[in-house]
Amino acid sequence: MKKLLLAGVAVLAFTHGAGARDITIAQSSDLRSANPGVNRDGNTDGIILHIVEGLVGYNNSGEVKPLLAKSFDMSADGLTYSFKLRTDVKFHNGKPLTAEDVVWNWTRYLKPDTKWSCLSDFAQGGAAHVTGVKATDASTVTITLEKPSAVFLGLMSRPECGYTGMISPDSVAADGSFVTPIGTGPFQWDEWKKGEYIHLKKFADYVSPENDGKPDGMVGSKRPLADGVKFMIIPDASTVKAGLESGVLDTAEISPDLIPEFKSSEKTQLIVSRNNGKNLFYIQTRDKVLSNPGVRRAMAMALDLDELVAAASNGTGEANGSMVSQDSVYFNDTQKKRLPYDVEAAKKELAAAGYKGEPISIIANKRGNVPSFPAAIMAQAMMQQAGLNVQIEVLDYATQVDRRRSGNYQVISQSVAPRLDPALMYAFYVGNKDKNASLMWDDPKAVELMRAAYVELDQEKRQKIFDEFHELMLKEMPGIFLYDMVDVWGATKKLKGMPVWQSNARLWEVSVEN
Amino acid sequence: MMALPTIVLVSITVFDLIRFIPGDPAALMLGDMAQPEQIAQMRTELGLDKSMPQQFVIWAGNVLQGDFGKSIVNDEPVLPLVVSRFAVSAEIVLVAVLLASLIAVPAGVIAAWRQNSVIDLALVGTATVLLSIPTFWLGLLLLLFFGLKLGWLPVLGYVSIGTNVVGGLLYLVLPVMTLVIHEAGVLIRMARASTLEVLRLDYITHARAKGLSESAVLWRHAFKNAFGPTWTMIGLILGNLLGGIAVIETVFTIPGLGRLMVDAIFARDYPVIQGCLLFVALSYVLVNLTVDLLYPLFDPRVVAE
């Protein structure tokens, strides 16, 4: 019987399994669409990252660098960008990338029919209104903006925008409908078995952008070392663990609870990587109790942030009270400032604010890969020490989103996906709450600073804006930032390289030993 | 007779209930970066800005023409999606229920025949333990033992039997085994209880008085009459499992109907939830209708009545 079953498994591996040097990875949900930047979520972005590339991309420090472009220049008035294209780039169908292809792609993205997620950013009224895209010569493209924008290149590089990836015009049918993604990335589209897996195969003719031999965010060395990548849809964390232990999976995000087990395992390795996402307590500044900055500051001072972060992140996170990520070029000594942990001072602030023990509810969810619930539990215990009457309300994620969108909350223990430019991160929290109830902070000065960060092109001046913003935030405390998100992944010992970057799988320069 | 009203009632209830659950599909679909205007536009495109009765009339009208709509999440037509996922679940459920019945019914009859003996106690005890084990836990245990420790069976993934017979069968073993173990517990107890009732009746005493062998009394006279309630239970189990083995499908990474439904609920994918539940109701009704129609084969009195 045993022999029969083993023979069957062997036959199965031979006939069905991916090639011997494929990397097999688990992800919690299926691809939404193979159309870059259209109908997307985080998992979709991770797959698309391997297939398409934009003119520019983020590096590890959050700076935008050339990718399909060899170089780019901005005119003195900040309105015209010239992208000189690399001449060694081919689409997966073998055709070379030309300036006309870039113009075709931009024209397609800017058509409302395409339903590009980022259209509003690049359309009239957006943060980087594109007024023209033209091919100056066979390898140069010029993009003009209505007004200067500090986030134009950053927006182009965003996962949510499908990296503004260039696809071959052969990717769409004659009627303009999308067929298949023929990109320029290190892996090419192969097969999608809905609900089961997505398989990409190596693009043998791939050439990396200029690099120093190492992967660097979305740029750097991007060699596809594996024959292919198979993304298996596995929603259950226990099954993922079994898959990694059995060697069926090569790598996957794991539940943080498994950190000790993976650390000590002989079969598997633990991969911990910080990203630019944020874990925070999102506060409703229009709430009757929480509209008083004194109460919000008291909440912050009641938290032993280092202890809270250590517990909520299973020892992987590091406290960071700033909206700016620790890995950003803009993270300096000013950004390191935070309110002190001081329970007595918190009590005094509460007394001065006239707080009389009114209940404060923290909304949390129990999704496995975010610290929403453990952070809320820790905060509740700490805040109660200072006399705050904190309760926890556990909701499913969809309901939590609904409550935030409608403004119907007091505090939400929330995680926010990575945004590599601080100004783009600010936009998640700051703005007019009358127009958008989901925003956290509508202080006029904060809104003014955010707008300035969107248009200021000089890095030093931007730094000053971000520093002023941080000081204002410490005074007003519209939300309590806890720590930068941490990706906790497991892998077999056979996997070589770093398979995750900014919460997404990144499987170039990653291999599996046979 | 009640099939049609049941389905209509289910469709109205499902349609209303999922809209009462907090969570806006448009907001979930567009993600964190969406502006209120974009969400409002998406709601209009999805028809969610219309009143609930209007939405229901549109949806029901389309369903009557065979159009179950498209998934909000991935724009796929709902009917082919539901049917393809149902086929995967049905493959597992039918095999599991058949095997569970083949094991449990004779075991239950034997337990009744040897009431209060060691065999009876062992069978009833085992059945009670089996039906008390949660399927997700049992599934994980089997996966760890047969997949990880022994390495006999694939740990995760799915291959359709249509694509690869050997592979398909290997992938079926663990989920089917989990269901068989759990459902056999229920069926053993049911078969035992109904057989015990029949064995107490006068006509069984009469059969024994006529000098018939115990085997003939048990299988020719007792079993046929005792099987009716068990048959009904098999129908209920079948209908129930066809409607969702989401836990099993999640543990064993099987792309079946249950997982589709759970994913759709989390994403508030209304057309898929509605399509799935309507399909489940329909299959439940059809299974029970079939069970009722086949009942006279085991109990001729049903026809007489």
pLDDT value of residue B100: 94
Give me chain A's average pLDDT, please.
Answer: 93
| Test mutation, A402, A412, A425, chain B, max B CBs within 10 A | A402
Cα–Cα dist B234/B190, whole Å: 10
* Res A8 pLDDT > 80: no
Closest chain A residue to the Cα of B38, Cα to Cα: A120
Tell me whether 0.85 is exceeded by the ipTM. Answer: no
Q: Is B10 on the interface with A (CB under 8 A)?
A: no
Cα–Cα dist A96/A182, whole Å: 12
Cα–Cα dist B242/B280, whole Å: 7
Q: A496-509 pLDDT, tens per residue? A: 999 999 999 999 99
CB contact under 8 A, A405 and B27: yes
Q: Is B169 on the interface with A (CB under 8 A)?
A: yes
Least confident of A285-299, A336-350, B199-213: B199-213
pLDDT value of residue B7: 84
Q: Is B162 on the interface with A (CB under 8 A)?
A: no
Mean pLDDT for the stretch of residues A344-349? 97
Band (B215; pLDDT cuts 50, 70, 90): confident
Residues of chain B numbered 222-281 and touching chain A (CB < 8 Å):
250-253, 255, 259-260, 263, 266-268
Q: A378-400 pLDDT, tens per residue? A: 999 999 999 999 999 999 988 99
Chain B: give the shortest CA distance to residue A45, in Å: 12
Q: Is the dihedral of CA A440, A444, A447, A449 positive or negative?
A: negative
* Res A183 pLDDT > 60: yes
| Test mutation, A12, A115, A250, chain B, max B CBs within 10 A | A12
Band (B55; pLDDT cuts 50, 70, 90): very high
Mean pLDDT for the stretch of residues B247-258? 89
| Test mutation, A31, A276, A401, A421, chain B, max B CBs within 10 A | A401
CB contact under 8 A, B266 and A12: no
pLDDT value of residue B122: 94
| Test mutation, A9, A199, A370, chain B, max B CBs within 10 A | A9
Q: Is B154 on the interface with A (CB under 8 A)?
A: yes
pLDDT value of residue A16: 43
Q: Tokens for B280?
A: 């489940």
* Res B12 pLDDT > 70: yes
* Res B24 pLDDT > 90: no
pLDDT value of residue A46: 96
From the list B22, B157, B159, the residue facing A399 with the nearest CB is B22
**Regarding predicted confidence, which is higher, A59 or B32?**
A59
Chain A: give the shortest CA distance to residue B34, in Å: 8
Helix (H, G, I), strand (E, B) or coil at A467: helix
* Res A12 pLDDT > 50: no
pTM check: above 0.80: yes
SS3 for A112-166, per residue?
A: HHHCCCCHHHHCCCCCCCEEEEEEEECCEEEEEECCCCCCHHHHHCCHHHHHHCC
At which residue do the structure tokens 């299959």 appear? B283
CB contact under 8 A, B74 and A33: yes
Q: A124-175 pLDDT, tens per residue? A: 999 999 999 999 999 999 999 999 999 999 999 999 999 999 999 999 999 9
* Res A10 pLDDT > 80: no
Mean pLDDT for the stretch of residues B146-161? 86
Confirm if B20 and B40 have CB atoms less than 8 A apart.
no
* Res B184 pLDDT > 80: yes
Q: A31-41 pLDDT, tens per residue? A: 999 999 998 88
DSSP A370-424: S-HHHHHHHHHHHHHHTT-EEEEEE--HHHHHHHHHHT--SEEEEEE---SSHHH
From the list A5, A12, A243, the residue facing B156 with the nearest CB is A243
Q: Is B75 on the interface with A (CB under 8 A)?
A: yes
What are the φ and ψ backbone dihedral angles of A264, each rounded to 5 degrees? -95, -5
* Chain B residues with beta carbon closer than 8 angstroms to that of A368: none
* Res A3 pLDDT > 60: no
From the list B32, B75, B148, the residue facing A39 with the nearest CB is B75
Mean pLDDT for the stretch of residues B16-34? 84
How far is residue A421 CA from its own chain's centroid? 11
Confirm if B273 and B18 have CB atoms less than 8 A apart.
yes
Confirm if A447 and A432 have CB atoms less than 8 A apart.
yes
pLDDT value of residue A17: 43
Q: Tokens for A389?
A: 């009457």
Helix (H, G, I), strand (E, B) or coil at A245: helix
